[in-house]
């Protein structure tokens, strides 16, 4: 719980004296990596944060985007990695609760999750973590009545004995009801929600170091029922103008909430810890200040509205305590009854000294160039079936059917599609997706991160949406290792390059470092969430009919580094990572959107993990129809058949087009100058890939469906 000697000296100089033990605990919580971003903050400044729809961006509890007609979307993303690796049910559940409280300027309408675990085919502990994290997310979200509408999952040996649990929350509401954080001297400080206990003590410091011990006291205890009441109380208090400013109690507990609120509003805050409603007896001042007990909100209100706020809390049976006042200075002063036990400048507490960590290119990247490619398997039909059963590709039906994704009646396109779509009250639609690919990012951190961004954009484009904003979640190992920090900087530079080119502002994000165990660090794992807006109507996939054409938009290249085919089939790590051509990607996106807007597309599906072979199979499985694909129609130079089938080149789309629309489709694509080919037609009951007259793959759709649909559930049910 202590500061480094350098930080201690810095603090002593700033306050002009030695800090007392309580002050040390307060500062240690706020200056932890998890809360202060002291390693990453200066590098995040390069991300584009401005845009015509941006109302507020990074640095607030949630980003806010204007979606027109007086309405806004709020969005935030968080992680609960260390806690979920120790206690997956509670860790994942409290991850959901925490991120939802960050968006309470509006009503929460959706949750998305991104999950990563070890090799569940070989590792029983990874299966245990996976099952219980999913159950925690499902139980918490279902209890709140907030639909979990989408996400993504990866399994990899580099996550052995660990878990990444990322949760994004989306809110929707009227612009005029947004809480404009401000405060005046004399305003009251009200702690609303669950009682403060000893759970979660030291959670921020626990998450700011390598996971070595199962410190269960640092894991918070979830209570979705009190969270539901807190949500309703906060929203009613907002509607009655009782809230001048608001802050979720997350990492660092009251220490961070108080110091960050005071610093952001340029005020002082005085609080009395003896007034806090507690769950346990004899809690020390330090415990009260750094406890991360869940379901708590800090609200600032004035004398005129205090009684109304209290009545609202009582109406919803939500516990509350009036614990302090806003002062005219810039100090955070903590009292225990009449005794001052800590008094520090909020600016000092809220702003840890930033670090400029050294970087060096990882030595392992030298071995990423494969001297010899894996040989082409003789039976490609068997390979395709094995790829469809790969846990990273197989249907996640077992996961999302545990989530109530329809509650709230907004969900138009449900989990399992390229992206999920929600109906908004102004007649528009919101398309949302999060994507990550740690295998690509390991082989090439910069291009891997760009690829994650491109994939998320492709997914929302496939629903007919134009990307309007993004959030990122950057997850890496120990930043004190120059090689790991190099991968972080490369990733953030790649994300920035893509965001600027496509003019997609970053409206929020999270950095999670020290993600490693005794077995080593995780692979670099940036996660990108993209929000897309649909002005008229989404592309709700129509049934693919016999003799519909299959059109491939985009170029397939010899770039299988980090591909599922190389790693899962051949055990080969390395090779050339897929590279995004920004201009081609933008042209392809705009062309596909125009085709969808002109109602020329039956179904659109992006080409990603598993490449063309998997993407075509998924379209056939979902529509219970076969397809005849002619690989010789694809203009790919110097590329083997298996590479053509399983390359994960970016910026590619598969479009099912009715014969009556094929002429107009080709005309539009030619006019835009994008690479495209008619590569096949839907017919029969088998997925068939041929090269000229030679049949390379022939797999019955029902057999492919059985592998794709049941493999993951079979693993977790019987493992």
Query: Residue 317 catalytic?
Result: no
Show the tokens assigned to 538: 């989404």
226: tokens are: 């009190």
Q: Whole-angstrom Cα distance, residue 137 to residue 263?
A: 33
Strand partners, 54: 65
Helices marked H in 16-78 — which ranges? 21-30, 33-36, 41-44
Centre a 10 Å sphere on the Cβ of residue 313 and count the other Cβ atoms it contains. 24
Tell how strand 506-512 and strand 466-475 pair up. Answer: parallel
678 CB-near residues (< 8 Å, 6+ apart): 549, 550, 551, 633, 662, 666
Instruction: Reply yes or no on whether 34 is catalytic.
Output: yes
H-only helix segments in 189-252: 203-206, 224-239
Answer positive or negative: Cα dihedral of 48, 50, 55, 56. positive
Which residue matches tokens 């910069």? 446
3-state secondary structure 419-446: CEEEECCCCCEEEEEEEECHHHHHHCHH
Where are the alpha helices (H) located in 550-610, listed in sequence order? 564, 570, 582-597
Q: What does the alpha-carbon distance between residue 326 and residue 348 come to, in Å, rounded to a whole number?
A: 18
Answer for the pair 49, 58: CB distance below 8 angstroms, yes or no: yes
Angle at 343 between CA 338 and CA 347, to 5 degrees: 145
Strand partners, 228: none
Closest CA to 538 of 625, 417, 622, 416: 417
Q: To the nearest 10°, the Cα dihedral for 165, 203, 87, 124?
A: 60
Tokens (6 digits) for 374:
């894996």
Token pair recorded at residue 217: 């006291």
Phi/psi region, residue 523 (left: phi>0; alpha: psi -120 to 50; beta: rest), is: beta
The answer for residues whose C-beta is within 8 angstroms of residue 537's C-beta and 6 or more apart is 429, 464
Q: Are strands 627-630 and 686-691 parallel, antiparallel or unpaired?
A: parallel
Q: How far apart are the first and last CA of the chain?
A: 39
| Residue 372 token pair | 């010899």
Strands 420-423 and 429-436: antiparallel
Separation CA 325–CA 186 (nearest Å) = 6
Each residue of 340-360: b (16+ CB within 10 Å) or e? ebbbbbbebbbbbeebebebe
State the Cα–Cα distance between residues 448 and 455, nearest whole angstrom: 10
Which residues make beta-bridge pairs with 76?
Answer: 169
Report the DSSP beta bridge partners of residue 553: 653, 676
Q: In angstroms, rounded to a whole number, what is the distance separating the alpha carbons of residues 634 and 596?
A: 23
For residues 511 and 386, what is the distance between their CA atoms, to the nearest angstrom? 35
Q: Which helix (H) or strand (E) holds 149?
A: strand 148-155
Catalytic residue, chosen from 43, 76, 80, 473, is 80
Three-state secondary-structure class, residue 509: strand
| Residue labelled with tokens 């291009």 | 447
**Catalytic site positions:** 34, 80
């Amino acid at each position: 719980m202590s500061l480094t000697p350098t930080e201690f000296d810095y603090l002593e100089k700033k306050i002009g004296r030695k800090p007392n033990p309580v002050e040390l605990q307060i500062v240690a919580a706020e200056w932890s990596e998890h809360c202060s971003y002291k390693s990453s903050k200066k590098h995040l400044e390069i991300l584009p944060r401005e845009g015509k729809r941006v109302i507020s961006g990074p640095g607030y509890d949630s980003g806010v985007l204007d979606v027109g007609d007086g309405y806004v979307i709020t969005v935030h993303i968080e992680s609960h990695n260390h806690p979920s690796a120790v206690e997956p049910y509670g860790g994942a559940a409290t991850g959901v609760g925490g991120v939802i409280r960050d968006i309470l300027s509006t009503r929460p309408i959706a949750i998305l999750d991104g999950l990563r675990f070890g090799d569940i085919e070989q590792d029983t502990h990874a299966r245990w973590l996976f099952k219980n994290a999913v159950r925690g997310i499902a139980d918490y979200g279902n209890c709140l009545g907030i639909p979990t509408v989408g996400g993504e999952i990866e399994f990899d040996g580099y996550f052995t004995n660990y878990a990444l649990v990322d949760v994004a929350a989306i809110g929707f509401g009227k612009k005029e009801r947004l809480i404009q954080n401000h405060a005046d001297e004399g305003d009251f400080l009200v702690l609303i929600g669950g009682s403060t206990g000893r759970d979660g003590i030291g959670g921020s410091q626990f998450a700011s170091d390598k996971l070595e011990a199962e410190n269960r006291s640092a894991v918070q205890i979830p209570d979705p029922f009190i969270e539901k009441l807190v949500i309703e109380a906060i929203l009613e208090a907002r509607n009655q103008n009782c809230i001048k400013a608001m802050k979720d109690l997350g990492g660092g507990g009251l220490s961070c909430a108080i110091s960050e609120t005071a610093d952001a509003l340029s005020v002082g805050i005085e609080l009395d810890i003896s007034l806090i409603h507690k769950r346990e007896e004899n809690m020390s001042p330090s415990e009260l200040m750094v406890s991360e007990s869940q379901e708590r909100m800090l609200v600032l209100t004035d004398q005129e509205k205090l009684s109304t706020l209290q009545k609202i809390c009582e109406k919803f049976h939500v516990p509350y305590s009036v614990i302090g006042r806003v002062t005219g200075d810039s100090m955070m002063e903590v009292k225990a009854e009449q005794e001052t036990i800590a008094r520090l400048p909020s600016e000092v507490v809220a702003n840890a000294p930033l670090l400029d960590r050294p970087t060096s290119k990882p030595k392992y990247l030298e071995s990423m160039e494969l001297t010899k490619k894996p040989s082409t398997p003789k039976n490609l039909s068997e390979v395709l079936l094995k790829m469809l059963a790969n846990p990273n590709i197989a249907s996640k039906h077992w996961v999302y059917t545990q989530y109530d994704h329809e509650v709230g009646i907004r969900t138009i396109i449900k989990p399992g599609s390229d992206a999920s779509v929600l109906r908004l009250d102004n007649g528009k639609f919101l398309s949302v997706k999060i994507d990550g690919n740690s295998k690509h990012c390991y082989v090439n951190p910069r291009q891997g991160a760009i690829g994650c961004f491109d994939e998320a954009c492709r997914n929302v484009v496939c629903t007919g949406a134009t990307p309007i904003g993004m959030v990122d979640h950057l997850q890496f190992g120990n930043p004190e290792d120059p090689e790991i920090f190099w991968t972080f900087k490369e990733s953030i530079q790649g994300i920035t390059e893509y965001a600027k080119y496509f003019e997609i502002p970053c409206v929020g994000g999270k950095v999670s470092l020290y993600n490693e165990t005794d077995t080593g660090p995780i692979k670099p794992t940036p996660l990108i969430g993209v929000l897309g807006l649909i002005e008229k109507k989404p592309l709700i996939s129509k049934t693919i009919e016999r003799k519909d054409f299959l059109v491939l938009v985009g170029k397939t290249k010899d770039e299988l580094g980090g591909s599922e085919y190389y790693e899962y089939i051949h055990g080969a790590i390395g090779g050339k990572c897929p590279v995004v051509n920004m201009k081609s990607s933008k042209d392809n996106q705009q062309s596909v959107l125009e085709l969808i807007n002109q109602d020329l597309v039956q179904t659109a599906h992006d080409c990603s993990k598993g490449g063309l072979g998997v993407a075509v199979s998924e379209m056939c499985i979902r529509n219970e129809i076969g397809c005849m694909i002619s690989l010789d129609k694809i203009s790919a130079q110097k590329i083997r058949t298996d590479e053509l089938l399983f390359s994960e080149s970016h910026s590619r789309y598969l479009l099912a087009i009715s014969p009556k629309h094929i002429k107009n489709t080709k005309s539009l694509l030619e006019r835009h100058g994008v690479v495209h080919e008619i590569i096949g037609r839907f017919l029969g009951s088998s997925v068939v890939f041929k090269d000229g007259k030679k049949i390379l793959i022939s797999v019955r759709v029902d057999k492919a469906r059985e592998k794709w649909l049941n493999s993951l559930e079979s693993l977790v049910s019987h493992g």
